């Protein structure tokens, strides 16, 4: 069911992009560097390429944070394992230091 919903959403997005392209067919030149202009391109293509470049940059920046969070999770899991080991050691020490009620009553 989720795949069908995704397909419908993508279909709607593609229809909106097609409508956007048809409504913005005016050709423009982009000034990238002073004195250098691109060949005339449709406005819609310039906007879509800008959107794609922005999305790629956002993904690149997000990947850095994602890696940082994964490393932090790994460090915290290791710390949790160490704490669990210490807990087991303390439990064993507590059990070994407690006097057994059955042996003291017989003396």
Residue 24 tokens read as 């913005």
CA distance 29 to 46: 9
CB 37 within 8 A of CB 29: yes
Q: Residues 24, 44: contact at Cβ < 8 Å?
A: yes
Report how far residue 101's alpha carbon sits from residue 89's, in angstroms, rounded to the nearest whole number: 22
Of 13, 15, 10, 17, the C-alpha closest to 2 is 10
Whole-number pLDDT of residue 103: 55
Note the pTM of the prediction, 2 decimals: 0.54
Per-residue model confidence as pLDDT tens digits over 21-61? 778 778 888 888 888 888 888 888 888 888 889 889 988 98
């Amino acid at each position: 069911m989720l795949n069908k919903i995704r397909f419908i959403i993508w279909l709607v997005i593609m229809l909106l992009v097609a409508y956007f392209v048809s409504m913005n067919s005016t050709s423009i030149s982009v000034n990238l560097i002073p004195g250098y202009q691109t060949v005339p391109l449709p406005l819609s293509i310039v906007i879509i390429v800008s959107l794609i470049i922005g999305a790629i940059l956002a993904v690149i920046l997000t990947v850095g944070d994602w890696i940082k969070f994964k490393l932090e999770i790994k460090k915290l899991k290791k710390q949790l394992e160490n704490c669990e080991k210490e807990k087991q050691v303390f439990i064993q020490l507590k059990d070994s230091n407690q006097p057994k009620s059955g042996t003291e009553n017989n003396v």
